[in-house]
Chain A
Amino acid sequence: MPFELTDHTADVGVAATGDGLGDVFAAVADGLAAAMCDDVPPGGDRFDLTVTAESREALLFDYLDELIYERDVRGVLPVDNEATVYEADGEWTVEASARGVPLSDVVARDVKAVTYSEMRLERTDGGWAAYVVFDV
């Protein structure tokens, strides 16, 4: 599994890895889903989202913030995330999709928000690694 939920006294941390930036973004997003729900059933329609920001870290923050927003507004848990990240003219974009499992079909806990606290997004020998703390 390219992500892992880590100990954090009040909140939940997600440590994730991926070959590319898109992979590590999607892995953090899957970690976010896992922080909300232990058993994800099949079903639900996929939806797309595109987010742009001024830097990689800001993009990761905005992407996760957008997923939480979509969750509340669509009433779905975004799982099986896929993401492609690219840069053009100094602006970073993620084109992503997720399977939206209706919240009525799952037992899920609220993750309130993404935070910048202790956030890391860095290149490793094999690809990319990220750490994000979510406010629970």
Chain B
Amino acid sequence: MKTREFDGIRLDRVREFVWEIPKEGEMRVPARVLASESLLEQIGDDLTLTQLKNSTQLPGITRHAICMPDGHQGYGFPVGGVGALDAEDGCISPGAVGYDINCLSGESEVLLSHGRRRQIRNLWADFEDERAVVTSDDGPVDADIRLFTQTKDEVVYEVETETGDVVEATADHPFATPDGMTELRELNEGDTVSLHPFEGLPDAEPPEFVLLDESDFEDEDPQLVQALVDRDLLPLKSTDEAVNRLLKLVAFHTGDGTFSGNQSWFYGDPEDLEAIRDDIEALGFTPSRIYERDREHEIDGHSFERTEYSVRSTAKSFRQLLVRLGAPAGTKVDSEFTAPTYLDRLADWQKALYLSAFFGAEMSAPDAMTGKNFYCPSVSHNRLAVRRDAGEQFMRDLMRHLGDLGVRVNALEEVERTETTAGETVRFRFGLKNDSDNLIRFFTRIGYRYNREKRERAMLATQYLKRKERVIDERARIAEDARALADGGMATADIKQRFDVNDRFIERSIYEGRSGRPRPPADFPNFAEFREMAEVRADLTVDVEIDSIRERGCKTVYDIGVTHDAHNFVANGFVVSNCGVRMMKTNLSYDDLQGREEELVESLFANVPSGLGGGGVVESGVDTVDRILEEGVQWAVDEGWAVEADMEHCEDEGFRPEGDASAVSQKAKDRGKNQIGSLGSGNHFLEVQRVTDVFRDDVGDAYGLEEDQIVVLIHCGSRGLGHQTCNDYLRRIEKRHGDLLDRLPDKELAAAPAGSELADEYYRAMCAAINFAWVNRQLIMHRTRQVFERVFDRDWRDMEMDLLYDVAHNIAKRETHAVDGEDRDLFVHRKGATRAFPAGHPEVPVAYRDVGQPIIIPGSMGAGSYVLRGGEASMDLTFGSTAHGAGRTMSRTQAKQEFWGETVQDELRDQQHVYVKAQSGATVAEEAPGVYKDVDEVVRVSDALGIGDKVARTYPVCNVKG
């Protein structure tokens, strides 16, 4: 294999024009460079390859980071870079205890899927295969872990809550509070934080054994067996992910399910049935929608109505799977079922899945019998007397498993026998011991599943009991101290002075002794009152006060970042000025223009604002800026700066609906309000060009391009507003997630990895800035029409000055792409790269759908520009992208030494008939033709790879620069 190396970065040649930097070290994916050997030589000459390599470390990056043939060094991501980041990826919230990402001491427990917990420091080996529980508005959900970091010698603080929960974290660790995420350093004793009381059981790998294989289904139809094999459910091993879902489904069905023919029915509240649906679906079966029907019941002669909700699966194979795993097949009371024997061989947390789902259906909810003490949550179970032994066995199985998990139970009772139509039935019952420790252990480690109401109640009960125990502990300590002081001879009156409890308590402690622990004080709320005060959020978190914050010295700290679709990952450093390029056609020919170049260039320069402090076509107030940010080109149509056809020929029809003016800072708007419709300076320009070649006639026809035709190219972005927005968010992200950024190789990559709200807000701000950029180019184009009207004394419509296309080349966009045969929702970041969708893609405007999306590649002054169309290979190779221009090869400072602006200007005019007008000679020198890569070579590579096919070439006539 052919390889090249630049400053220690090796590239392997995959095939012609395709080079790959293999994945190594911290890289998450390989990187690719699309270039000829001569272009690669230039690309390897500066930091482009290092920056490209760095970008592969961004969480969520998919397949490859890609450098286009015109790539060059930028800041953070290279210019000419394409990175597709999973849109469901975010480095956020392993919110088990309302934690966000970030710096917890190694002992901190992280709640993983299926009720498992593990110390964060033990996640390093397999974190990428793990799923952590994230708190979200829809309740706790599982999310992939995508990031794990470890930092030595950080100062940690121990935070203890009023309920005795303890966590160690660094000062910048954010905690969920009622006012949003707040760093620990800003929290004080007495402040409120959110806590997710459910802890789960220690994570452990179950012993591997086969639960079911084809021999268990010998009497079944081979098609049924095949259906299970196809879903990877046969053979079924104890270590399969599917087992964890099946345990819950089997258990819940044993409680609140029935079979009817091939159908498996589950009954519950709608939102709990949703959770059941999700699990059925995850196994590869199609659950029904949730059915609702009103049923009439009659009890003791009173009839009443109640709404019954249910969900079912009609798959025979699903039913047989549940039955083989222990769900009773016939009438439950008349069945010999016991708890499945395989439970004994599973890991503790798996047993808990079975138990908690059964309890979700069958165990009573936590409730207080007297004010402050709880009933024993209990399970009742009926069997026909002839099935009595099996029934008893089933109950004893459950009790035994609970005992193994550290939860104590009362003795099994045979409560009653009744005569029914089916025969004599026996009713068994057992309850959990109701001391606080035992109940807390049950609620926080096992609890109830598929039953939201009971889970919420269990969380409240947990918090209540923890609080109560802490108060009692405190009183026990006081009692002991009081007794010790009395023994030491202190007068009772003095002892009473010392403690903040009622006198009677001290007297009893000293004189009467007390059997067992003290009771909580009279003013301690009972559970009913507590339930009024406390609230469990949808994500099963509750508010608690911080009792103390203590420094605990230096420790190694750990972070994980998790993915969740509520927290979209948006990389900031990628996408700065939203700059892009548009081309306007005319029906003028080069002949019509010759002799008028000087007049045209002067007139354009005078009328199109450019340079620093040059103002804008529209100078207005912030209210106008707000409208532009939210309405895009529609605003220009309403204000007479655009026609409907302009919208139709713009990418996204010149409007990003996500644009939100309130996400853009006042500072950014202040900068933007005087720059609406302005070119700026640097490499941005307006150029009147003539078409010199049309390479593909059919596409040329569709685009309305022919040789010798005059066109206008406009290249600029969202100006100061876009840059201010970018830096505002860069700094906010840094302040909020600075330590995470420290671990990325370049601060400017400055992804918004964490902070769901911030990433989301940034995306809305960026979309607003894109709306602004489209309007900016639209105003310049419309002003150009007016200039042409004056110079040629004709109406612009007569000159058919219509927009060909406007496409951004500095932009992040949410798109769907096939990756390894699977459709993935991705944020495709094109930094100095252009979208290049092929013919037939639904996002290509109708007018061009048969031939592919137009791509405009601005070149340098002397080399001309190109129009391409999206190539067939672009979706496979580059997430539908190609190059964006020529790309610099020489620094501006060097260019100014090599070239003299006025000389360049004169030579262009005299030798090439290109008329340049710029704010300064230095600008001309900096942008001289020699400082750019050979655009012909860039386009040749794009065309050969089939990512962007060349359609036409244009050559400058007049060029206006800032």
Which residues of A does B touch, CB under 8 Å? 5-12, 36, 38, 54, 58, 61-62, 65, 68-69, 71-73, 75, 77, 103-104, 107-110, 112-119, 133, 135-136
Contact = CB atoms under 8 A, between A and B. Distances in A.
Given A10-B74, A69-B671, A73-B671, A109 B576 contact: no
Given A10-B79, A69-B671, A73-B670, A113 B893 contact: no
Nearest to A119: B747
A109 B923 contact: yes
A9 B46 contact: yes
24 contacts: A5-B893, A10-B73, A10-B74, A11-B74, A11-B75, A11-B892, A54-B735, A68-B720, A71-B612, A72-B613, A72-B675, A73-B670, A107-B920, A108-B612, A108-B919, A109-B922, A110-B611, A110-B962, A112-B723, A115-B76, A115-B748, A116-B747, A118-B75, A135-B576
B72 A10 contact: yes
A67 to B, nearest CB: 12
Nearest to B721: A72
Nearest to B832: A10
Contacts of B962: 109-110
Given A10-B73, A61-B731, A110-B682, A116 B748 contact: yes
B730 interface: yes
A135 B75 contact: yes
Given A9-B891, A58-B734, A73-B671, A112 B613 contact: no
Given A62-B731, A113-B726, A8 B73 contact: yes
B418 interface: no
B577 interface: yes
Interface in B59-77: 72-76
B746 interface: yes
B382 interface: no
Contacts of A61: 727, 731
B893 A103 contact: no
Nearest to A36: B612
A112 B577 contact: yes
A59 to B, nearest CB: 11
A48 to B, nearest CB: 17
Contacts of B478: none
B611 A115 contact: no
B888 interface: yes
Contact of A112 (B74, B682, B735, B750): B682
Interface string B694-723: 000000000000000000000000001001
A117 B888 contact: no
Q: Which of A9, A61, A117 has the most B CB atoms < 10 Å from its CB?
A: A9
B680 interface: yes
A117 to B, nearest CB: 3
B681 interface: yes
Interface string B552-584: 000000000000000000000000110000000
Contacts of A69: 667, 670-671, 720, 724
Interface of B is mostly: mixed
Interface of B: 46, 72-76, 79, 576-577, 611-613, 667, 670-671, 674-675, 680-682, 720, 723-724, 726-727, 730-731, 734-735, 738, 746-748, 750, 888-894, 919-920, 922-923, 926, 962
A134 to B, nearest CB: 9
Nearest to B670: A73
Contacts of B890: 9
Contacts of A5: 893
A110 B74 CA distance: 17
Contacts of B893: 5-8, 12
Contacts of B675: 72
The 8 A-B pairs at the shortest CB distance, nearest first, are namely A103-B613, A117-B75, A7-B891, A113-B723, A110-B681, A115-B75, A116-B747, A117-B748
Contacts of B748: 115-117
A136 B671 contact: no
A57 B722 CA distance: 22
Contact of A108 (B576, B613, B727, B888): B613
Nearest to A7: B891
A108 B889 contact: no
Contact of B731 (A58, A68, A118): A58
A136 B682 contact: yes
A113 B576 contact: yes
A109 B76 CA distance: 23
A74 to B, nearest CB: 10
A115 to B, nearest CB: 4
Given A72-B675, A109-B612, A116-B750, A136 B892 contact: yes
A32 to B, nearest CB: 12
Contacts of A54: 735, 738
Contacts of A77: 612
Contacts of B612: 36, 71, 77, 103, 108-110
B920 A109 contact: yes
Given A62-B731, A109-B920, A112-B723, 18 more contacts: A9-B888, A10-B79, A10-B888, A12-B892, A38-B922, A61-B727, A71-B612, A107-B920, A108-B612, A110-B611, A110-B962, A112-B682, A113-B724, A116-B75, A117-B74, A117-B76, A117-B746, A136-B682
Contacts of B922: 38, 109
A6 B46 CA distance: 14
Nearest to B678: A110
Nearest to A8: B891
A92 B494 CA distance: 52
Q: Which of B72, B612, B675, B920 has the most A CB atoms < 10 Å from its CB?
A: B612
A29 to B, nearest CB: 16
Contacts of A117: 74-76, 746-748
Contacts of A7: 891, 893-894
Contacts of A115: 75-76, 748
Contacts of B682: 109-110, 112, 136
Contacts of B674: 72, 75
Nearest to A57: B747
A70 B551 CA distance: 42
Contacts of A6: 893
Nearest to A112: B723
B307 to A, nearest CB: 56
Nearest to B728: A65
A77 B611 CA distance: 13
B716 to A, nearest CB: 11
Contacts of B670: 69, 72-73
B727 A114 contact: yes
Contacts of A11: 74-75, 892
Contacts of B576: 112-113, 135
Contacts of B74: 10-11, 117
Q: Which of B667, B727, B893 has the most A CB atoms < 10 Å from its CB?
A: B727
Contacts of B681: 109-110
Given A10-B73, A108-B612, A117-B748, A72 B891 contact: no
A115 B735 CA distance: 16
A58 B747 CA distance: 11
A108 B75 contact: no
